[in-house]
Structure formats: structure tokens, C-alpha cells
Structure 1
């Protein structure tokens, strides 16, 4: 059982984690709206081209990705619709790892451990996945606590 102070500290830490991931998403997404500003622009276009079998124009794909990332970032920052937002984050994260499959020469110097700078850029996303899992668990706990509180109030 946590003391009120411990609960407040945990809540603050989770808010800081959620907002910091949101800022990263919003920032990286916003860069993609401006040609040449995102260092991941070409990698993103090539990856989405592979994932969509080239059926959609690369620039359209990039704008859709930019919008996706900005929406995820904005919703994480404001703390609304957390669980649906985290589902979008997890789906995006799965896609961010596909260059290891599609472009191994661009992501590895030496398979499977010698990552290129591009590979390192992708691999750091494991931290975002871990943060997402922590936030998901926290949201589930919060929802369960609200449910039990409502049940207790309805019995009175």
C-alpha cells in the first residue's frame, strides 16, 4: 500500500514520462512536415514505400506519418485518450523496426550486433516501447482503481 506522498510522486513520474514521450513524438512528427528537416525522412519514405508496396506517393506517406506522430505526441502531452494513443504508438513502433528487415545493409555494419548510425537511431525506439508499456500498465491500474472506487461508493 502506498502512502499519499508515494502515490503523488508516482503520478508525477508517470506524467513526466508521458509528456516527455509526447514531446519527442510531436517534435519528430513536426520536422517531417518540412522537406529536409528530419534526419529520418528518407528512411521513413523508403520504409513506408515497402510497407505499402509503393501504392501511395512517398510525400503523401510522409505527411500521413508526420500527422500520425504529431497526433500521438499531442494526445500524450495533454493526457487524453491515453490507451488508444498508446495503441497508435505501439503500431508505429512495430513499423519503425522494419528497416532491420527491409534494409539490413543500411542498419547493420556487422549482423546482428554492429549497428550503423541509422540502426542505432532505430534501436533507441526500444526505450519508447518500454515507456509505452509502463504507461499502459499505469493506465490500467488507474482504471481499475477508479472502478473499485465507484463500486465502493455505490455500496454506500
Structure 2
């Protein structure tokens, strides 16, 4: 084999690896989108989400009480559901990821605002609500990965936002 043929084989293999990563990015976006739609849709029905009370209280604190609790939970439900649908349908993915990153970062604020509701023995033993927040570290890492990956469906570059 010639040097040129060996080089072409290497390029082909590296492109295959890139395509695999693009597929993984799409699968990750789909899975995070499903979680967002699921958790967001729970908030449309009063008292269905286990995090509803904490979410209302957190939004109350973060907005200095400017948004009534019943409206804030509906806004959060719409935010989460829209982000989830955008990720699932691959519509303006980078825009959706940015909004998801903002959302996920804000979900950590109860760790500082309401430690008594998040920890049983501060700072190591988590309540169920604390565990609900802790799983967001995984979502945060996936969102950062997706933000740094520029693939769209079928391996095309996604240039939306």
C-alpha cells in the first residue's frame, strides 16, 4: 500500500468516529429532552410534581416575590416543556441548550437558599428533594457536552444559534 492509501484509510476511520459522536449527541439531546418534557409536564398539574413547592419557593426568592407562585410554576412548566420539545425535535438546539443551561444552573440555588429542605445533615446527607437536585449535575454535564458538539441530524452541522 502506498502512503497516500494509508492516509486515506486513517481519514475514513476518523470520520467514522466523528459520525459516532454525532449520533451520541443526538441520543443525549433526545434523552435530556424527554426528561425535560416529562418533568415540565408534571408541573402543569397542581401538586403532581414532587419539586413543585421547592420550585415555587425558589422562584419566589429569586424574583423577590414579583411573580405569583401559581403563575411561576406554569411559566416553569412551559419553559421546561418547550426546551424539551426543542431538544427532541432538534429545533434551534443551541438556543434550547442555552436555556436549559440557565435553567439547570438555577436549580442549584436551593442548595444555598433552602439547605434545611435539601440536606438532612448538612452538607452530605441529601433529602429526596436534594437528590432530585443532585441528578442535575449529570444533566449539566450532558448539556455542556452538547453545547460543545455542533452536530445536527444526519451528521449535518446545526447552525441555529
3-state DSSP class of the match of 1:39? Answer: coil
Give the 4+ runs in structure 1 shifted more than 4 A.
none
- What is residue 138 of structure 1 aligned with on the other side? 149
- What is residue 116 of structure 1 aligned with on the other side? 127
CA RMSD, 1 decimal: 1.7
Q: By how many angstroms is 1:8 displaced?
A: 2.8
1:14-93 alignment runs, 5 A limit: 14-93=25-104
3-state DSSP class of the match of 1:109? Answer: strand
Structure 2 unaligned blocks of 5 or more: 1-10
From 66, 84, 101, the counterpart of 2:112? 101
- How many residues are aligned here? 143
Q: Which has the larger radius of gyration?
A: 2
Higher helix share: 1
Of stretches 64-73 and 114-123 in structure 1, the one that deviates more from structure 2 is 114-123
User: Which has the bigger relative contact order, CA under 8 A and spacing at least 6?
Assistant: 2
TM-score, with normalisation over the residues of structure 1? 0.85
Q: By how many angstroms is 1:128 displaced?
A: 0.5
TM-score, with normalisation over the residues of structure 2? 0.83
